[in-house]
Amino acid sequence: MNEELYKKVDLWFEDHREQMLSDVVRLLRIPSISDPSGPCHPFGQGCHDALEEMLLIGREHGFYTENHEYYVGSIGLEKKDYKNTIGFWNHLDVVPVGNNWEYAPFDPVLLDHFLIGRGSQDNKGPAIGILYMMKCIRELQIPMKHELCLFVGCDEERGMQDIEYYTNRYHVPKLNMIADSGFPVCYGEKGILDGRMISKYKVSGRILDLYGGHAINMIPDIAVAVLERTAELEKELIDSNTSLEITRHADRIELTARGTSKHSAFPEGSTNAIHELCHSLSQLSCLDVEDLRLLRSVSAMSAEYYGEAFDISYRDDVSGPTTCAATILKLEDRKISLTLNIRYAITADVDKLFSCMTVHAQQAGFVWKLERNSKPNYFSRQHPAVELLTNTYNEMTGEKKEPFTMGGGTYARKLPNAFAYGIGGLAVDEWDKTVSEKLFLPGHGGAHEPDEGLNIRLFLKAMKIYTMSVAALNDCML
């Protein structure tokens, strides 16, 4: 590592710390949840405003910006040689807020060394960080043979229609890096499949409503059933000593189950509120027989995270196990609809997976409806950039990490010659742990969790690593 250069980079980021955080806060104040159904095309007012603000920040720092029809924005040079450009990709849209926040999600607050607000980690903080990385390279006059350009999209969390639209109409850089994962290089991503199990039969009039979950890629932390208030139900609730929260109204009773939210790509350790609700409901004998059968099916479908209920459990040495998470529950035309978010291993047999889902649905009294299949991404592990970036990261941290694959989905799966690199995964110290335990309840503080928080100490360290890593790519063939 070039020690003299690192000292300059280190000092530069420390000098720009407050300005960089101020720019992150500007983005965090905008509730940019992708919503293509609204009047503001294509992804709603929040994403429109966030993209405008990000491009304004880019211009304030002396870059040329372009707005590609509010699908994607670019920040870099005015005249670009895309065959010699490294593209950096971030997204400005965020997942829905969810429940149980201790802090206001869009009124960011700085406590100790955490910046708390929806999108701070995923992915507005890193977007600003990459902008400052480019500015640092420019101001320190670090020689670069390749051009650098930052791209920001507005629909990553909902389905990546932003990148599909962009790549069909505009130029794409030769090499593409996505700062939306852990360090070092993530060279492969599982396939992502979204679909719904829809019951063939309508529930009885005793079930007035069922709902839970806010986003396809979040484990739900709350699920609710609204039941007709009857003497039989009242008696059963008293006798069963249920763990569900009970709210009584004149003609109905609301039963609420609590869980713990996590990203559906990494569901381990979470508690799925949909399962908690349906498992408890299926114990109530006062409900109709057909209602109970459907509820038991939903309980089984949401009980675990590896597809065992559907006979799709599979793992490979490249990407690990297939995961399957129930994320959204609702009633549609009195029929139960259960959304499943499946992250299938890179070498999985997708046709077999489809067949298993269809067969299970028929056996359980449901219909399987496929809504999205985003194919896996695989970037050659032998590409010289993989070893170079991994070695740079390990040299700067003293670690011995290897390139990896993951279940999370990034823009890499929609772009040519693309992989993810950072900015997460840095080791926390005892001070980080102490502060985190003081600020965040269990199940809070993560990227898709309540009270999402950006560790500023690690954020600065990550951007210094990123700057040195990009400088190391100078002699790498794209």
pLDDT 10s digits, 71-106: 999 999 999 999 999 999 999 999 999 888 999 999
Domains of the chain, with CATH numbers?
A: 3-190+377-475 (3.40.630.10), 192-373 (3.30.70.360)
pLDDT 10s digits, 108-118: 999 999 999 99
Nearest to residue 193, comparing CAs of 25, 421, 373? 373
What residue ranges in 159-271 does DSSP mark as E strands? 175-178, 181-182, 185-189, 191-202, 207-212, 222-228, 245-248, 252-258
Percent of the chain with pLDDT over 70: 100
Q: What is the pLDDT of residue 98?
A: 86
Q: What is the pLDDT of residue 55?
A: 98
What residue ranges in 236-281 does DSSP mark as E strands? 245-248, 252-258
What residue ranges in 128-174 does DSSP mark as E strands? 147-153
CB 77 within 8 A of CB 64: yes
Secondary structure class of 214 (helix, strand, coil): coil
Q: What is the pLDDT of residue 329?
A: 98
Q: What is the pLDDT of residue 206?
A: 96
Q: Which pTM was predicted?
A: 0.83
How far is 95 from 299, CA to CA, in rounded Å? 25
How far is 256 from 237, CA to CA, in rounded Å? 13
Q: What is the pLDDT of residue 99?
A: 86
Q: What is the pLDDT of residue 352?
A: 96
- Confidence category of residue 258, pLDDT binned at 50, 70, 90: very high
Taking residues 290-310, report their average pLDDT.
97
Nearest to residue 417, comparing CAs of 478, 334, 356, 328? 478
Q: What is the pLDDT of residue 77?
A: 96
Q: What is the pLDDT of residue 78?
A: 96
**Burial bucket for residue 434 (CB in 10 Å: 0-12, 13-18, 19+):** exposed
pLDDT 10s digits, 143-176: 999 999 999 999 999 989 999 999 999 999 999 9
Taking residues 323-346, report their average pLDDT.
97
How far is 471 from 141, CA to CA, in rounded Å? 11
- Confidence category of residue 475, pLDDT binned at 50, 70, 90: confident
pLDDT for 193 beyond 90: yes
pLDDT 10s digits, 377-390: 999 999 999 999 99
The distance in angstroms from the start CA to the end CA of the chain is 21
- Confidence category of residue 120, pLDDT binned at 50, 70, 90: very high
pLDDT 10s digits, 204-253: 999 999 999 988 999 999 999 999 999 999 999 988 878 899 999 999 99
Taking residues 181-198, report their average pLDDT.
96
Q: What is the pLDDT of residue 240?
A: 82
pLDDT for 127 beyond 90: yes
Q: What is the pLDDT of residue 239?
A: 84
